[in-house]
Amino acid sequence: MSTRISRAADERRSAILTRLGAQGSASRAELARALDVSPALVTQLTRRLITDGLIVELETTASHGGRPGRLLGLASTAGHSIGVKIAADHVAFVEASIDGSVVRSAIEPFAAASADAIPVLVDLLRRFIANASRRPLLGIGVGLPGTVDDQGQGIVDSTQLGWHHVELGAALRDSLELPVLIDNNVTALSMAELLYGEGRTVSSFLVVTIGTGIGSGLVFNGAVLRGQTGAAGEIGHIPTVEDGPLCQCGNRGCLEAIIGESALVVQARTLGVIGRLSGMASLLAEANAGNTVAQKVFGDAGHLLGRALAGVVNLLDPGAVLLLGEGVTAWPHWAFGFEPSFRASLLNAKRNIDVVVESWQDDRWAQGAAALVFATPFDVSGSTGGQGKLVRQRLNASVIDEGGTRPGPDDVMAEGTVEKV
């Protein structure tokens, strides 16, 4: 019994550290509600964390009739993670701390379709890890375009990368001897929004990315939904135009094949807005300069996106929509067509839903991948499997290294029973 209690305490300690790192200071009562445990258990666990010097008491919170509470804050980063974003022609790396901040980053050329892609990726990762900070590494998170069977196994299918049933998780784990979690890049980005972004203020939300592709991720009641095969959120492959242009997925008329970056560039070239060798940067420059044809290319794309996204909102009823991705730099031109079509296509009860357009930095995809590691203490569904368990063990080990003492059974016995982890 004592071993089970101690293990539960370890996982709760890591969850407290991760939440304070991800969402900032909180009272004991707020932690109890967030982790769905009793205030008495939180009091005992935080007492040990304070003694170990891992969290500190901050200012007193406002009282609502009872004794004023005190906010708790993180005193230690308690480990870092490596985030990896894989694209067809490059790979991006970040080292991130538990509060989501990027410690360092790098972008390397990468040929995903080459025969030696996996060994090259391993070598690039090994070199990046060799320069890691002195904080213990909890694990590696990988985000990529495609479907992944589950985060822990990491078997990948991706038409963009030219990968079919690639056992990426096993290859990275065996070579690097670190826990590895792999998921779709938009799913990973949704996890980062849940921990660090706008998603902290709403329990259910939809993340939509525009850029090379059109993707989405759904967070419902604080959990990212992956679907039966890990492929939930593929709004870019909603059938939009019958017998339309061929999509990279093999079907015709998908939304992504009509309003994805390459489709917009082809349309702009056909209209003579940009030269035959020019790309998205030139199209955006023309729109910004007032070229009405270029602006219409984006506006028409926004119109189609608005109608498709309204259908998704009507179906899933999220509390907010978060728009991200490389394409948001052109959002003022998309918005011209998006807003009227989106609002007009919503059910009356949903027409006031917030659409938040977030700024974009190149390392956001990799930062999202790093969040896969930090989210493991909140994995109530068990989707991270054995790899998530290893991450939590490493987090607990980093706590012990800095704090010195592992909590024993007496630290949690007041509950009387072992609570569900």
Which range has the top average pLDDT, 159-163, 186-190, 263-267? 263-267
Q: How far apart are CA 7 and CA 131, in angstroms?
A: 32
Burial (Cβ within 10 Å: 0-12, 13-18, ≥19) of residue 102: middle
80-86, strands of its sheet edge to edge:
102-109, 90-97, 80-86, 137-144, 180-184
Q: To 5 degrees, how large is the angle CA 77–CA 83–CA 86?
A: 175
70-74, strands of its sheet edge to edge:
26-27, 70-74, 55-60
* Cβ count near 344 (within 10 Å): 11
What the chain holds in terms of domains, given with CATH numbers, is 2-77 (1.10.10.10), 80-190+371-393 (3.30.420.40), 197-360 (3.30.420.40)
Q: What is the pTM of this model?
A: 0.80
Residue of higher predicted confidence among 195 and 14 = 195
pLDDT tens, position by position, 108-163:
999 999 999 999 999 999 999 998 777 788 999 999 999 998 788 899 999 889 99
Q: CB neighbours of 131 closer than 8 A, spacing ≥ 6?
A: 104
